[in-house]
Amino acid sequence: MGDRKEARDEEFQSFVIGRWPRLMRTAFLLTGEQHGAEDLVQSTLEQVYVAWRRVGSADDPEAYVRRVMINAHARKHRRRLREFLAPKDDSGLVREIADTGDRIAQAEDRNALLKALSQLPPRQREAVVLRYWEDLTETQTAEAMSCSVGSVKSNAAKGIAKLRAIPGLADIVTQGGRK
């Protein structure tokens, strides 16, 4: 019995170590600040650990964890009218380290993009972050958001349209990746 628990704990620890940067990035994009992202990931992992036997044997444990995180974020911020993605004083924050292949990381001004994301309603932001930043398929995004593929398409399209309408944002992003 103890050997199985130890093996399960090691499997969970390995999962957390391997996925921590990506989970933190997603949480940061959803919450808009480092401490909120850390809290969201920690509370998500607490929930997942309790059910790790079931989660670890799932076809895609990362998708399961991502869905738990999005649901936790949605519950916490359901009544909030506006979330701020960029804190007023971010001098003491540890900056997110982007993946080397992340085109958005190549943009000259990430803060402009983060501020633009903060202007989107939560569901549009979730769709944009999961589809375009996390590079999930429409089906994976729909599963993570607990909605239909049509809702993902609609929310992502509306979110992208709002981002494109922000003066200068498209120029900043395209200069970093696709001249």
pLDDT in tens, 150-163: 999 999 999 999 98
Q: How many CB atoms lie within 10 A of CB 151?
A: 16
Structure tokens at 19: 């996925």
Give per-residue pLDDT as tens, 43-72: 999 999 998 988 887 788 888 899 899 888
pTM of the predicted structure, to 2 decimals: 0.62
| Per-residue burial over 97-125, b = 16 or more CB atoms within 10 Å of its CB, e = otherwise | ebeeebebeebeebebbbbbbebbebbbb
Determine which of 9-23, 40-54, 95-109, 115-129 has the lowest per-residue pLDDT on average: 95-109
The answer for residues whose C-beta is within 8 angstroms of residue 117's C-beta and 6 or more apart is 29, 32, 85, 125, 128, 129, 163
Among candidates 22, 41, 34, 17, which has minimal Cα distance to 136?
Answer: 22
* The residue to which tokens 């809290």 are assigned: 39
